[in-house]
A and B are shown apart, each in its own frame.
Chain A
């Protein structure tokens, strides 16, 4: 059991986390945050294995991972 949480206002929608996720948990969403970026959202929460690859690549430290 693992989960990833996104701090929406930090996310700039660069998509580096989406690319490295081995389980396709993340996706760039359609909503925008206060800075005007389309932020990343969790689309398959139950598939998360807590490997932290997304968080390692996030340049804005917007992701937190529990495992």
Chain B
């Protein structure tokens, strides 16, 4: 018998601090598998954000920079410009990327900086205790929207993937989910493509991953998985919105 599934080598042995059923662990694994696939472990620099993803340096066997809240894309863009031979990726949540870091990611994308951004969208502020995030769905209850998000008072959930796909800079803009084994396989492929874009020098690649937060949603991991299919995917449709085949050179 041959081992067909094992822990990726780009991950350390440390057990995750995430809550039971949290999708962060799956996304961490998919990123590590992509690094393994291209044999990038020795030349990768990760940029961690603030939120549940803050302990990236504990779990990845690569060098990691801890960025100030929301600024991961800016830190990564600078890192890539200085250390161009290295592969630079950021791993950010929706409170980080879609709220405080909106400007940073939009300008990194618009400049077409050759970095990879992994955006984990669980539609809530996870680490700080379940407050309403820009991505919180209409009607969703959180600690700061106890009667559900109201579009007249709180506005509409922000669609980062659609926003970035409208720009000229990015080479790959895609949204995936990891709520079923099939979706995990598709997500693996897209995350791999995102790193390939960077290796080939095609510019900014962005992958949004829909994720659960069973603890702050107040659901079992199974129910949270069902919510992804029933509520999140209809509002945040999956798929690749933009993919560039060649490098734009004027």
Whether A56 lies near B185 (C-beta < 8 A) is yes
CB distance from A59 to the nearest CB of B (A): 3
- CB under 8 Å from chain B, chain A span 1-55: 1-3, 9-10, 12-16, 19-20, 35, 37, 50, 52-53, 55
Instruction: Point out the residues of chain B lying under 8 angstroms from A66, CB to CB.
Output: 1-4
Residue of B nearest to A3 (CB): B1
Chain B hits for A10, CB < 8 A: 15
Which among A9, A16, A61 is the interface contact of B29 at CB below 8 angstroms? A61
Interface segment among B19-27, B106-114, B121-129, B168-176: the answer is B19-27
Known contacts A9-B15, A57-B181, A57-B184; decide if A67 and B1 are in contact (CB<8 Å). yes
Residues of B near any A CB (own CB < 8 A): 1-8, 11, 15-16, 18-26, 29, 180-181, 184-185, 214, 220-222, 225
Residues of A in contact with B (beta carbons under 8 Å apart): 1-3, 9-10, 12-16, 19-20, 35, 37, 50, 52-53, 55-61, 63-67
Closest 4 CB pairs of A and B: A59-B25, A14-B21, A12-B20, A14-B20
